[in-house]
Structure 1
Amino acid sequence: MLSILNLAIFGLSLSTATILQNGQPRPSNYPDTRIDPNASSFRTYPADAPEISYKGRWDSKHVSWWSAPGIKFGYTGQTVAISFGHLTSPGVLIAYRIGGLDWTFTNVTARGTHLLVSADTPGSSLTTPINPWTFEMRVTNWAYGVQIDSIHVAAGEKLVKLPDFGRRIEVIGDSLAAGMYTSYEGLSSWAYGLGAGLGDTEYSITAYPGICAADQDCWGNPRGQVHQWFYTSDTSYRASVAYGDNPEPWDFSKRPAADIVVINIGTNDQNAANNVSTTVYIDALTKIIQGVHGKWPKAHVIVMSLWLGFYQSGNSYFPGASQGFVNEVCQMCKWFNSDDYLRNQTIYDGVTKKISRASGRPEPFVHYFNTSGIMQHNDIGPQWHPTDVGAIKVASHLQQFIRITFGWDLLATGPEVFHDTLYWNDQSGY
């Protein structure tokens, strides 16, 4: 990680509508969606209305945390507006859509009401109306969040509770999973592409830039994932302002257990600047997996190998000399699947530090996903993170690994996943 990360972690940079591609601003014409809520006749639902499904991690004040959190619900009519609370980050960029149509983006404001769906919204006036419509919103930036105050539909219309999908994935990671430096950050990350690209799958991305697995300060993050994964909020500056030293523990009973947990963390532990020994890293990663197993005993865990960029040697490029704790991680995975562990499991609870024993011998549950050979040097950006294309490649290979290993069908059959990646050549001769 480079020192520029400290600016992002402490929220000193402002979220704007400008997106850079290769150092140049990408043209954007995000609509100004703010309205006067008193000028329209609405039916209003509070933030805790049971019709609203919260995706990812949200606290008891309905404030979003970590990467690509969102909300989803059904609605009737042609109107959806959202009022955002005072804990919304200034100018945070959100993505929203109806059904499986393309994402639309807008910057929202604290204490503002934003009209996101109207009769003019593309697809909203289909000749064959869909009842109910589906609305989805996602926060794009991992360092910022929104607070839901209320949801509005047209007078006489209603919200509708949508059933959750039957499959669930959790991703635990750092900046590589959070989407740092990709075009739409969380919404362009490989972790989002994995969950959304599988289709008909609930997903949560508990990832934040700069964080280590080890429980120590790394690039301004005061705690590591071995601790923080058990809490609702991330390790951002806004979390320290909101909670100080008393963050809300995550209530795992809020959601059904994950079926698959993907862990991609250790790049920051590997960096010499953070002074994390191999022993400390493996101990932390082991406890993360034990914690996952304690909360979700039936979940399968996929541990991804790390990638540390490429260097030029002669007239070609080669991966970093050390890809990060390879032998040690492989040995740890073998230990989790050994008879010694499975017959007498040690479960680690990251909140209470309580150790318990579980009897019986379940099936092996830890799987190793080798990322070697997926990305080439041009799939890694100047800041050592995947480009948009690199993220797509990682997500695609991981989807196939899950399909082969667990028999999961790929159920995404049309709705947009990665935005602004529709490039083509329509000239037959050139």
Structure 2
Amino acid sequence: MLIQPDSAAVSYSGRIDFSDRRAPVFDWPGVMISAVFANSQNCSVILDDSGGNDFNVFINGVHGGIIECVKGEKEYVISKSLAPGENTVTLTKRTESYDGITVFKGFVVDKGAKPGKPADEPKLKIEFIGDSLTVGYGVEGPGISCDSVRKYTNNHMGFAATAARALNGGFHIIAVSGRGLVKNYGENSPQSERPLPFYYESTLMNRPEVKWDFKLWVPDVVVINLGTNDFSAEPKPAAEQFINAYTALIEKVRGYYPEAAIFICEGPAQSEPFFDYFDAVLRKHEGKNVHALEMQMLKPADWACDYHPNRKAAERMAGEAVEGIKRILNL
């Protein structure tokens, strides 16, 4: 029996293109798909993938393995021994948008299974905008040298998703590794053609012409962690250039979410002259519900793949984010 993607038993979190309700398309990290059903011992999922994505599987909130997608449409077994009664199966996208697009085609359960009702959406909604730190790039890696970044990337264990869970919040993640506010990592111009803000209004990073409807999901909190890649190499953006770009992004966010508390992160991996520019951005938005979120700078003991935060560092970053958000929102 196929539980179709448009079934009332299926719930979603994240930016997803529902142009075809029976074949929703997505590519942002952290997208979640859940189904609730009873009277089925077996469950599998049908995904049509670009060939680069991985998904965590959770059964009733307990991690039940990883799906490593191959190119094309395939049915992936989730479990052949589900407990009697009602079960909730959830997929969370570990990998990032660079790894391609996924089309969800439904869950396969036993004939006679009874669809259930998904849990209510969390009241607190948080949008995270960022780069590889928000993606959870290589967060599970054994050190700075990793044989496979894909294997060790896990958005679920990155600071953003971890912070959202600690706050019992729902979340969307708009983040791409290597992207900056103005300049992307490794590019030899102080102004990149497609820095992170280029994708902010897109439903899909890989199809930026598909625009997101901001009325579909309105967050209470927006967390921006950018600026690491902008200053990773020469030539670095000029002060006015960077400050104006950060201001433009904040004002764009504010235009879509007039009531949201906006947090901009200082740390954990930026370099000079980011910090002076950051202070200038903060001063420009004084009294406008824009707040600094301070994070400790990363040290060698914090490093996973390619000098990115490991799980312990990501947990610390999440704690810093939670503390700052709670203080401002009086949670």
Runs of at least 4 residues off by over 4 Å: 216-222
Letter in 2 for 1:387: N
Query: Distance between the aligned counterparts of 2:27 and 2:3, measured in 1?
Result: 22
Q: How many residues align?
A: 306
Query: Distance between the aligned counterparts of 2:235 and 2:55, measured in 1?
Result: 33
The answer as to 2:165 corresponding to 1:165 is: no
The answer as to 2:60 corresponding to 1:136 is: no
Query: Which of these residues, 10, 14, 23, is aligned with residue 56 of structure 1?
Result: 14
Aligned-pair identity (%): 21
Q: Counterpart of 1:80?
A: 43
Query: Residue 51 of structure 1: CA displacement?
Result: 3.4
1:359-398 to 2 correspondences below 5 Å: 364-372=288-296, 375-381=298-304, 383-398=306-321
Query: Which of these residues, 168, 171, 174, is aligned with residue 131 of structure 2?
Result: 174
Query: Distance between the aligned counterparts of 1:333 and 1:269, measured in 2?
Result: 18
The answer as to 2:66 corresponding to 1:105 is: yes
The answer as to 2:160 corresponding to 1:195 is: no
Query: Distance between the aligned counterparts of 1:177 and 1:330, measured in 2?
Result: 21
Change (3 A) 1:112 1:194: same
Secondary structure, counterpart of 2:306 in structure 1:
coil
Tell me the C-alpha RMSD between the 2 structures.
Answer: 2.3
The answer as to 2:51 corresponding to 1:90 is: yes
Unaligned runs of 5+ in 1: 1-41, 310-319, 339-363, 409-430
Q: Counterpart of 2:78?
A: 116
Query: Which of these residues, 82, 100, 103, is aligned with residue 147 of structure 1?
Result: 103
The answer as to 2:5 corresponding to 1:47 is: yes
Query: Distance between the aligned counterparts of 1:159 and 1:292, measured in 2?
Result: 38
Preserved CA contact (<8 Å) 2:129 2:173: yes
Secondary structure, counterpart of 1:252 in structure 2:
coil
Change (3 A) 1:169 1:390: same
1:208-247 to 2 correspondences below 5 Å: 208-214=176-182, 218-219=185-186, 222-234=193-205, 239=206, 243=207, 247=209
Query: Which of these residues, 205, 211, 221, is aligned with residue 173 of structure 2?
Result: 205
Change (3 A) 1:152 1:222: farther
Change (3 A) 1:219 1:160: farther
Query: Residue 298 of structure 1: CA displacement?
Result: 0.8
Q: Deviations over 1:374-429 (max 9, x none)?
A: x4331134623112211111112211222222123xxxxxxxxxxxxxxxxxxxxx
Larger Rg computed on CA atoms:
1
Query: Distance between the aligned counterparts of 1:62 and 1:156, measured in 2?
Result: 25
Secondary structure, counterpart of 2:27 in structure 1:
strand
Change (3 A) 1:265 1:274: farther
Q: Counterpart of 1:417?
A: none
1:328-343 to 2 correspondences below 5 Å: 328-338=277-287
The answer as to 2:250 corresponding to 1:304 is: no
Secondary structure, counterpart of 1:254 in structure 2:
coil
Higher relative contact order (CA 8 A, sep 6+): 2
Secondary structure, counterpart of 2:46 in structure 1:
strand
Query: Distance between the aligned counterparts of 2:275 and 2:103, measured in 1?
Result: 40
Query: Distance between the aligned counterparts of 2:11 and 2:239, measured in 1?
Result: 40
Query: Distance between the aligned counterparts of 1:101 and 1:300, measured in 2?
Result: 32
Query: Residue 280 of structure 1: CA displacement?
Result: 1.6
Secondary structure, counterpart of 1:54 in structure 2:
strand
Secondary structure, counterpart of 1:302 in structure 2:
strand
Q: Deviations over 1:158-186 (max 9, x none)?
A: 33342211111110000111111212422
Query: Residue 299 of structure 1: CA displacement?
Result: 0.6
The answer as to 2:289 corresponding to 1:326 is: no
Query: Distance between the aligned counterparts of 1:176 and 1:70, measured in 2?
Result: 19
Query: Residue 207 of structure 1: CA displacement?
Result: 0.6
Letter in 2 for 1:171: F
Q: Deviations over 1:76-108 (max 9, x none)?
A: 2233321112xx122632111122213421223
Unaligned runs of 5+ in 2: 141-151
Letter in 1 for 2:164: G
TM-score normalised by L of structure 2: 0.84
Query: Residue 66 of structure 1: CA displacement?
Result: 2.0
Q: Bigger CA drift: 172-181 or 73-82?
A: 73-82
Query: Residue 260 of structure 1: CA displacement?
Result: 0.5
Preserved CA contact (<8 Å) 1:268 1:274: no
Letter in 1 for 2:285: F
Change (3 A) 1:276 1:51: farther
Preserved CA contact (<8 Å) 1:266 1:306: no
